[in-house]
Chains A and B, each alone.
Chain A
Amino acid sequence: MEEGSAQGVHETGVVGLKRQKSWANSARSMRAAERHVIAAMGVASALGDSCDDAFRALLRGRPVVSRPPFALPFETVTGLVAGPLDPLPSKLTVYDSRLARIALRALPQVTQAVERVRARYGRERIGVLVGTSTGGLDATELAYREYRDTERHAASFSLRRAHAFDALAALVRDLLDLSGPTYAVSTACTSSAKALASARRLILADLCDAVLVVGVDAVCETTLRGFHSLGVLSTQAARPFCAQRDGIHIGEGAALMLLARAGEGPAYVSAVGESSDAHSMSAPQPEGLGASDAIVRGLAEAGLDASQVDYLNAHGTGTQQNDIAESRAILRVLPRSVPVSSTKGLTGHTLGACGTLEALFVALAIDRGELPPSAGAIPLDTEIELGVLTQPVRRRVQVALSNALAFGGSNACVVLTAP
């Protein structure tokens, strides 16, 4: 990927700001912003298996891609968690899947913090929400193949414990000795952004004092074949916002975020704005109307003005349609001067995991005062008038947004703020 001359951030006009302020004001009076601290974070991704490693790789701006771990009748690349992945302990093999292995690689990074909130609030007051689009489909693929080859069901496979969306949530709950609300949110590529929204609501409604959100998806054949059949899979690392972009590449990973009612952490989740396009199952509304609704609702819920936004991590998949529609959505609400990047050129599109993974990147950007570049964006698409970052930038960030958009016209915008 070339990382040539820095185009920097366009410092141009402030579009539609006045209108935006009035929306935000009405919501601010509705409810004083209540925000939840990110008490701990954990990550496993192509960019590394700790927050430090992953953030360093983000700033470096070089995609980590390799061939898919199975044979396919077409060319593509994937962003894989570095192998080999440890199998689950023998007592827990019924839960085994690549998905579970990836999540458990990240889990030790948050265990101590979970123990602290458990001691403080009680095990029944801590929820576990998993955001995933596939669940343990990778394990189901192997079991299905065995069934078709041998006409016998794979003895080791459990649809309930390995495939089901919520299986990992129950596993994590039991491993951490928690007993609060435990479920999965599965809305394709907004899954884990919407899991953050649900977590936030559980705390606001006093049903929980803390919630561990696990955004996770594993590379599997079905999603690679499916996106190929839709004609949106690239043969190389995705290049969001680039004039030469030609589609997504699929990544995988787990991002864990412990949201708590009180305490200290690198950043806060101040809101999650959600909306539906009501347009198409798989194509974005061309003007980005649904996506801009999500940004507007997020800012309104947080009690913030568009003018206060210091950075936006775009969904930025690298397809022609998404990047155009999303840029229109962003410019309808935010000034052009807001720096924007997509980290999907580096990690790949992690599908159900991307909502939490990218919110985690934004929390790190707030904490460390550095913004990651949009890898592969040069030469920029001149139709896209966003302030796309092509180099890392040092900048104090008070308010930042992370977009996630999905099949079914599902949109979510996570609003994060500095301590």
Chain B
Amino acid sequence: MKQPLTVLGFGAVAPYTRADALPGSVDGLPSPVRSRADEPYTSTARAAGELPKLDLALLERTLRRGLSEVTRLFMHAAKLALDDAGREAEHMHVIFASAFGEIATAEALLAEAYDRDGSSPARFRNSVHNTAAGLLSISTKNHLSCTAVAAGWETVPMALLEAAAQLASQAETVLLVFAEERVPHALSVEHQHSPLAAAFVLARAATPAIGPQGSLVNLRRRPRSELTVATPLSATEALASSTDRARDDELDQHPIASVLSLVHALSSPIRASAPLGSARASAAVPAPRSATTIALSDGENPWCIDVYPRAEA
């Protein structure tokens, strides 16, 4: 990805994560991250807990009932990012990105079939991966295309590629929303990640300047050994440290954890400056503030991106 992505706004919500474990929070929450310090995430709280009240203001009142966690997380994060950007969702291409999407609704349909040999039409209607994006388009009368993608533990870099490709062709502005709800225990014991969502309002770079809320540049694979800059704070670490489980297994990690690294790098002052990797990147962004290189996926050859933070106030 050569063309920089201009960030117009962003926001995140991580309801069961301790505030002191969240990236960004150490600097007094400069980003619109919302967390609940009083509700530390534990597997017990997770199993029993209702999510804290999430902001559904983007939706028409008639559409707010019976929504899944992931749809509510989507709406909350999207609202934060849109407010941060000072934009309306009406004229944006929307991308929903999630590894497991409406997984609790899928389980509820399986339970209905097992327990009473039936299926609820309302539930079935809202079981598709594009449910949240569809509901948002209805509420905001947005006739532009919206899409929904999944790429497991590479959902973050793949969705950024989809956004970059949309911005390179027809889209002026993209609302990219990542959200992951809790996986019902009946479907998996491995994947017991906490609920998490983050949203970004992205635009095509009109000029080679850094966007009002920062820029994302040069999404590519890079050997981990060549990463000269430490990621600002491992979001995976932040989430895992707030759980009471071991995390020595890749499968224990959160599929979209790296969105928090992105949010952190966009919102906080640079801690270590990255040499501007390639000539290609420096040609695209002259006279930059220094960038932080973030690894967006696991493995020896992860997808990485250079993050230029928002301007100092």
Q: Is A21 an interface residue (CB 8 A)?
A: no
What 1/0 flags go to A289-316 for Cβ under 8 Å of B?
A: 0100100000001000000000000000
Q: Is A246 an interface residue (CB 8 A)?
A: no
List residues of chain B with CB within 8 A of the CB of A293: 143
Q: Would you call B149 and A184 a contact (CB within 8 A)?
A: yes
Q: Would you call B109 and A278 a contact (CB within 8 A)?
A: no
Q: Would you call A408 and B158 a contact (CB within 8 A)?
A: no
List residues of chain A with CB within 8 A of the CB of B159: 183
Q: Would you call B191 and A160 a contact (CB within 8 A)?
A: yes
Q: Would you call B143 and A198 a contact (CB within 8 A)?
A: no
Q: Which residues 157-181 of A sit at the B interface, judged by CB distance below 8 A?
A: 158-160, 163-167, 169-170, 179, 181
Q: Assuming the A-B contacts A205-B164, A276-B145, are A186 and B117 also in contact, with contact meaning beta carbons closer than 8 angstroms in the complex?
A: no
Nearest to A301 among chain B residues (CB) is B170
A99→B2 CA distance, assembly (Å): 36
We find that the number of chain A residues with CB closer than 8 angstroms to chain B is 68
A407→B131 CA distance, assembly (Å): 8
A221→B106 CA distance, assembly (Å): 12
Task: State which of B106, B128, B134, B161 has its C-beta within 8 Å of the C-beta of A207.
Answer: B161
Q: Is A145 an interface residue (CB 8 A)?
A: yes
Task: State which of A159, A230, A290 has its C-beta within 8 Å of the C-beta of B191.
Answer: A159
Task: State which of B119, B134, B143 has its C-beta within 8 Å of the C-beta of A281.
Answer: B134
Nearest to B171 among chain A residues (CB) is A201
Binds A, one of B180-188, B240-248, B259-267, B287-295: B180-188
Q: Is A410 an interface residue (CB 8 A)?
A: yes
Q: Is A124 an interface residue (CB 8 A)?
A: yes
Q: Is A66 an interface residue (CB 8 A)?
A: no
Task: State which of B124, B145, B186, B188 has its C-beta within 8 Å of the C-beta of A275.
Answer: B145
Q: Would you call B151 and A182 a contact (CB within 8 A)?
A: yes
Q: Is A108 an interface residue (CB 8 A)?
A: no
Q: Is B199 an interface residue (CB 8 A)?
A: no
List residues of chain B with CB within 8 A of the CB of A7: none
What 1/0 flags go to B132-150 for Cβ under 8 Å of A?
A: 0111011011111111111
A140→B111 CA distance, assembly (Å): 12
Q: Would you call B130 and A201 a contact (CB within 8 A)?
A: no
Nearest to B93 among chain A residues (CB) is A274
A381→B130 CA distance, assembly (Å): 32
Q: Would you call B130 and A205 a contact (CB within 8 A)?
A: no
Q: Assuming the A-B contacts A165-B150, A275-B145, are A160 and B190 also in contact, with contact meaning beta carbons closer than 8 angstroms in the complex?
A: yes
Q: Would you call B165 and A204 a contact (CB within 8 A)?
A: yes
Q: Which residues of A are interface residues toward B (Cβ below 8 A)?
A: 73, 124, 133, 135, 137, 140-141, 143-145, 147-148, 153, 158-160, 163-167, 169-170, 179, 181-188, 194, 197-198, 201-202, 204-207, 221-222, 225-231, 274-282, 290, 293, 301, 406-410, 412
Task: Enumerate the 5 nearest inter-chain pairs by beta-carbon distance, A residue then B residue, closest first.
Answer: A408-B134, A274-B145, A226-B124, A186-B129, A205-B168
Q: Which residues of B are interface residues toward A (Cβ below 8 A)?
A: 1-3, 99-101, 103, 106-107, 109-110, 113-114, 117-121, 124-131, 133-135, 137-138, 140-152, 154-155, 158-159, 161-162, 164-166, 168-170, 183, 186-191, 221, 251
